[in-house]
Structure 1
Amino acid sequence: VGLKCVRLEGGASVARAGGRGAGRCPETAARPAMAPFPAAVLKAQDDTTSGAIIECLKEDPTFIELAKRELEQIVQRDQEDADKLQAGVDQAIKAGVLPGDLTPPEYAQVNVLGKSADQVAEEIIAKLPKDGGCVLILVGLSGTGKGTTVDKMKAKLANATTWSNGNCFRALTLLAATHCEQEGKEGFDPECLTADNLGRWASMLEFGEFGGKFDIRINGLGIDAKVSEVANTLLKEPKVAKNIPTVANKTQGEVVKFAGAAVQKMGAAGTVVLLEGREQTLNFIPSPYRFCLTMSDTSVIGARRAAQRIGAAALSKLEDQADVTELVKASLRDVAAK
């Protein structure tokens, strides 16, 4: 099967296949009939579970149709996400927060078809520095296994950590909500999200080592706290939680800029920092270690997502059903009917 990586509008990647076999559901058509489905595999709820469910249902027309539907939904959602992120990036470039002359960086393509998450993780790890830290950036269409691969790499590397922009958005939202309170506003006022205010609030965030560990310090508007200390209190309050989407829509540039500096600092200190997500924002994070997970038969992406849904549904009924194979088949019917 020939592999070709195609860009969606906004930069999301999809692996398209050519040649025989493209569009068939799983890659396991030539395998013999499987043995009875082990309950332990269902309980694992990982890539081995998905693989076993695909093997079990690969000839079932209902499963093939469900997998096709799941793939279509994944591509549609990824395109919508790409468009939203690109709009935020364009806004940040217009405001001068992000550079407008960035040359899109190259990503090493990693075809995950027929490979376990462990194998994919090992393949990527082999291309990282043997000693010291670095920043690793992982992108790819939803369903290619980015999150699982990152989890596997984190478990295999003693000095690895993950980075999420979520707490940056929460911290900025806390500052925005606090500003509204101090201005006597009734509730949250989106009009406060001006370029000047956003720049001022972003300057109130500091990333560094505090008490021997890396953390984000929020220091401004009467607040002086470490994110790790208030992650489950201040940053979970309703005034923050319900306004994150509004603030995130306006602060893509500020957060990407902050994240870029933070992960560089961690990498220089000897940590392997793992970032997975979308190219639209991760393109602005400096790193030579960039990988794009692809699938030379994209139908498998839909099959994996369908299998994940079926596996979760089957697990919820496991105690009531001794025959796991029949339970999986029944769960397929339930999921397909929704």
Structure 2
Amino acid sequence: MSSKSISPVAVAVVAVGATIGLLLLSRRRTKAKNNESSTGGEGEVTYEVLSRQDASTSNAIIERFTSSSDFASLADREGSAILARDQEDAEKLQKGIDYAKEKGVIDPKFVPEEYISIDVLGKTPVEVADMILAKVNEEKKGSIVVLCGLSGTGKGTTVSTLKTKLESDGSGREVVSWSNGNIFRSVTLLAATWCEQQEDCEGFDKDKALTKENLASFMGMLEFGKFKDGKYDTCIRGLGLDLLVSEVQNTELKAPKVSKNIPTVAQVTQGEVILFAAEAVKKMGDDGIVVLLEGREQTVNYVRTPLRFILTLSDGSLIGKRRAAQRIMAAALEDVKESAWPGEIDLALEGQLKKMVAEGEK
């Protein structure tokens, strides 16, 4: 067997290359470690966890930055913004409710059934959904499930989880999610159409269109029941219109003349829409359907059901932390490849955190 000699120059090149490689690896590890130290991170976030973009991802990021002053600052800012928006929305809704009471549309002495409070601290959406399901399954037929709570308590995720579990439990029960949004859009479409048909209206005239008499007329043009293929739907019939909401919810109901005037119409139709929704969900519940209704207390109070749940969070700081983590994880996912190792993902998370903190300081 023959062997070839290796020149001293080749040995030197290999040695230098190996040394450089070790130095680069050492620098990358040191940089990642320094980043962990500066942000107070405790655990690592893998690509598999980051790509989920769900509660497990946000929890991992919150743990990663558990002692980070930058993350605490961002979370505090996000939490304050959420609470401010919730307060503003609540005040606007209450004005609409008070206006409806003054008009005599809704009973000012109405008292809803008591809410069942669930503290979501330390619970996954699946665990919260299971707690609600335990109550829902006590009902032998249809059920109306009302869910409310502040932003950041996981209402949307919980409703989605509930729907999936109910649809796959083998009971054969039909499950639907109800939203008042399309009813507000339907009334707005009617109001805008009415304005178009008036010779003395230039564009949308709220003072002429949104009178008590007109609103009562518009609501009378909406009917909830079984229509095409025996499916429940809302029919818009009047002013030359004959439409099913399910067929126009992404077309006519999203038209500019509707979208730009919804806020104006919603301010004066809270009572009418609330009562329409209450009757609609009752009809479905009586027909054996499980109806999931998510919203704010002011709007869901008028739906009669013992299955009323309010999600709370005993540690209010988590609302801001969750929102901050959600922003960071969404932005970081765009910065890394599927083959990224935890250290690279960590650098992406840290980079997005610093960027967001800096943006808030401008």
**TM-score, L = length of structure 2:** 0.82
Q: Out of 186, 192, 204, which is 2:202 matched to?
A: 186
- The offset of 1:105, in angstroms, is 3.4
Which protein is richer in helix relative to its size? 2
Percent identity, please.
53
Q: Out of 334, 340, 347, which is 1:326 matched to?
A: 347
Query: Considering only CA atoms, is the larger Rg found in Structure 1 or Structure 2?
Result: 2
1: distance between equivalents of 2:91 and 2:329? 31
Q: How does 1:1-338 map to 2 (within 5 A)?
A: 35-130=43-138, 131-158=140-167, 159-184=174-199, 185-191=201-207, 192-210=209-227, 211-319=229-337, 322=340, 323-338=344-359
Q: Would you say the 8 A contact 1:313–1:335 is kept in 2?
A: no
**Residue deviations 1:40-93, cap 9 Å, x none?**
221211111111111111111111121122222121111111100000000011
2: distance between equivalents of 1:216 and 1:121? 29
- The offset of 1:226, in angstroms, is 0.4
**TM-score, L = length of structure 1:** 0.87
1:140/1:257 CA distance change after superposition, 3 Å = same
Q: Would you say the 8 A contact 2:43–2:64 is kept in 1?
A: no
1: distance between equivalents of 2:284 and 2:132? 20
Q: Which runs of 5+ in 1 are unaligned?
A: 1-32
Larger mean Cα displacement after TM superposition, 160-169 or 100-109 = 100-109
Show structure 1 runs of 4+ deviating over 4 A: none
1: distance between equivalents of 2:141 and 2:111? 27
Larger mean Cα displacement after TM superposition, 229-238 or 288-297 = 229-238
Aligned length: 307
Q: What is the one-letter code of the residue matched to 1:292?
A: I
2: distance between equivalents of 1:71 and 1:321? 33
2: distance between equivalents of 1:74 and 1:309? 13
Q: What is the one-letter code of the residue matched to 2:87?
A: Q
2: distance between equivalents of 1:39 and 1:249? 45
- The offset of 1:220, in angstroms, is 0.5
1: distance between equivalents of 2:86 and 2:43? 36
Q: Would you say the 8 A contact 1:321–1:327 is kept in 2?
A: no
Q: What is the one-letter code of the residue matched to 2:211?
A: T
- The offset of 1:116, in angstroms, is 0.7
Q: What is the CA RMSD across the aligned residues, in angstroms? A: 1.6
1: distance between equivalents of 2:338 and 2:158? 33
1:324/1:171 CA distance change after superposition, 3 Å = same
Q: Would you say the 8 A contact 2:113–2:305 is kept in 1?
A: no
**Residue deviations 1:235-292, cap 9 Å, x none?**
1211111111111111111110000000111111111111111111111111111111
SS in 2 for 1:217: strand
2: distance between equivalents of 1:298 and 1:215? 39
**Residue deviations 1:90-132, cap 9 Å, x none?**
0011111111111253211101001111111111111113432
- The offset of 1:328, in angstroms, is 1.3
SS in 1 for 2:337: helix
1: distance between equivalents of 2:214 and 2:132? 41
1: distance between equivalents of 2:42 and 2:181? 42
Q: Which runs of 5+ in 2 are unaligned?
A: 1-40, 168-173
SS in 2 for 1:318: coil
2: distance between equivalents of 1:232 and 1:292? 30
- The offset of 1:321, in angstroms, is 8.7
Larger mean Cα displacement after TM superposition, 94-103 or 320-329 = 320-329
Q: Would you say the 8 A contact 1:47–1:116 is kept in 2?
A: yes
Q: Would you say the 8 A contact 2:44–2:64 is kept in 1?
A: no
1: distance between equivalents of 2:155 and 2:183? 21
2: distance between equivalents of 1:253 and 1:59? 47
Which protein is richer in strand relative to its size? 1
Q: Would you say the 8 A contact 1:57–1:329 is kept in 2?
A: no
2: distance between equivalents of 1:309 and 1:151? 21
2: distance between equivalents of 1:318 and 1:249? 44
**Residue deviations 1:185-210, cap 9 Å, x none?**
22111111001000110010000111
